[in-house]
Amino acid sequence: MALPKVLSRSEDTRKQRTQLIKKTQEGLKVGPNQRSAETTPVVRYRGVKKSFGEVEVLKGIDLDIMPGEKVAVIGPSGSGKTTLARLLMTLERPSGGIIEVEGEPLYHKRVGEGLVPADERHIARVRSKIGMVFQHFNLFPHRTVLQNVTEAPIHVKKMPRRLAEEKARAMLEKVGLIEHIDKYPGQLSGGQKQRVAIARALVMEPKIMLFDEPTSALDPELVGEVLAVIKEIAEKGDMAMMLITHEMQFAREVADRVLFTDGGKIVEQGTPEEIFEHPKSERLQAFLARFRNGFGGGSQ
């Protein structure tokens, strides 16, 4: 692998993107073209809370993710990273606050000045802009690799089968699985499964893709191939990404911005350099120290 070259390229593209995002974020504050497509965040959390029974696991999240932005989320196990992503994917309902996707509320509909709870149709329409890759892949075991990838284009997007298969093949080529398209998930390694899952999500062309610890369930020797694929997508695509990960080096290389969550809050955020080189909060310092000492783990 020509690692240094890849690295330097990613460094460049990331800097460009970071500048662009900074500009758009400034544009957001300036005002006149506040509503223009360029400055609308792809995802916005406003005061988002989530409780399971008595336990509040997200305690008011405010977060804007700009189009194309790659946001890494790090934090101890149980700090609410997964819940943050699952709320956006509509796998859990927030207990409070608003989530917007491209300026449109996900769980609410605008009626005049106010908001009312949205129906399933509205949610489905907004959800089409979001994709997710799971820790445990969740491939469909009764479908071949190709069918896993064409399932949603054909049946959700009503794409003609030929076109869907063409796209799926291109996507599977991209993740290096073109020789395996007729196999069933049970015949693949963990790394291959996760790459199929990535292709399956990508083919739906979401505006933002959520990765929830995509390599935590993999044998160590298979982590690299999956991270390489994600990195490649991050560098080439204009799709925003939320990368929940314990792979610090990876977060550093890929992310425009890193969030550190702890106790259901975003405790600190900044560029990879700010987060990893100059952590401000004690909790982040302690968290990173634990990683450096090799007690990183934890895959919940």
Ligand X SMILES: Nc1ncnc2c1ncn2[C@@H]1O[C@H](COP(=O)(O)OP(=O)(O)O)[C@@H](O)[C@H]1O
Residues 6+ apart with CB under 8 A from 51: 57, 95
CA-nearest of 248, 195, 254, 253 to 222 is 195
Nearer to Mg ion, 41 or 80 (CB): 80
3-state secondary structure of 73: strand
Tell me the C-alpha distance between 83 and 91, whole Å: 9
Q: Which long-range contacts (CB under 8 A, 24 or more apart) does 34-42 make?
A: 35/103, 40/67, 40/102, 40/103, 41/65, 41/66, 41/67, 41/100, 41/102, 41/103, 42/66, 42/67, 42/68, 42/69, 42/101, 42/102, 42/129, 42/207, 42/208, 42/240
Segment near Mg ion (CB under 5 A), from 79-87, 217-225, 271-279, 287-295? 79-87
Q: Is the distance from CB of 102 to CB of 207 less than 8 angstroms?
A: yes
Contact residues for 145 (Cβ-Cβ < 8 A; gap 6+): 172, 177, 180, 181, 182, 183, 184, 185, 188, 196
The one segment of 40-48, 180-188, 259-267, 277-285 that binds another protein by CB under 8 A? 180-188
Report the nearest approach of another protein to the CB of residue 135 (Å): 9
> What is the CA angle 194-198-202, rounded to 5?
170
- Quick one: 5 or 158, whose CB is closer to another protein? 158
Question: Which residue of 131, 191, 214, 279 would you call a contact of another protein, by CB under 8 A?
Answer: 131
Instruction: Give the binding-site size for another protein (rule: CB under 8 A).
Output: 29
Asked whether 234 and 241 are in contact (CB, 8 A), the reply is yes
Question: Restricting to residues 5-44, which ones interact with ligand X according to CB under 6 A?
Answer: none
Footprint of another protein on 182-221 (CB under 8 A): 184-187, 197, 200-201, 204
Residue number with CB closer to ligand X (79 or 194): 79
- Cα-based distances in Å from 69 to 166, 209, 211: 28, 10, 14
The nearer residue to ligand X, 82 or 192, going by C-beta atoms, is: 82
Instruction: Report the SS3 class of residue 37.
Output: coil
Q: Would you count residue 142 as binding another protein (CB under 8 A)?
A: yes
Which of 10, 51, 95, 144 touches another protein by CB under 8 A? 144
Residue 52 interacting with another protein (CB under 8 A) = no
| CB of residue 172 to Mg ion, shortest distance in Å | 27
Beta carbon of residue 153, minimum distance to ligand X (angstroms, whole number) = 29
Minimum CB distance to another protein smaller for 20 or for 217:
217
Of the candidate residues 24, 40, 79, 82, the single one contacting Mg ion (CB under 5 A): 82
Q: Applying CB under 8 A, which part among 3-11, 66-74, 120-128, 166-174 lies near another protein?
A: 120-128
Which span sits near ligand X by CB under 6 A: 76-84, 122-130, 185-193, 216-224? 76-84
CB 216 within 8 A of CB 299: yes
Angle at 237 between CA 233 and CA 239, to 5 degrees: 105
Token pair belonging to 27: 């544009």
**Per-residue binder mask for another protein (CB under 8 A), 80-99, x = binder:** ---------xxx--------
Binding site for ligand X (CB under 6 A): 52, 57, 75, 77-83, 300
Binding site for another protein (CB under 8 A): 89-91, 124, 127-128, 130-132, 134, 136, 138-142, 144, 151-152, 155-156, 184-187, 197, 200-201, 204
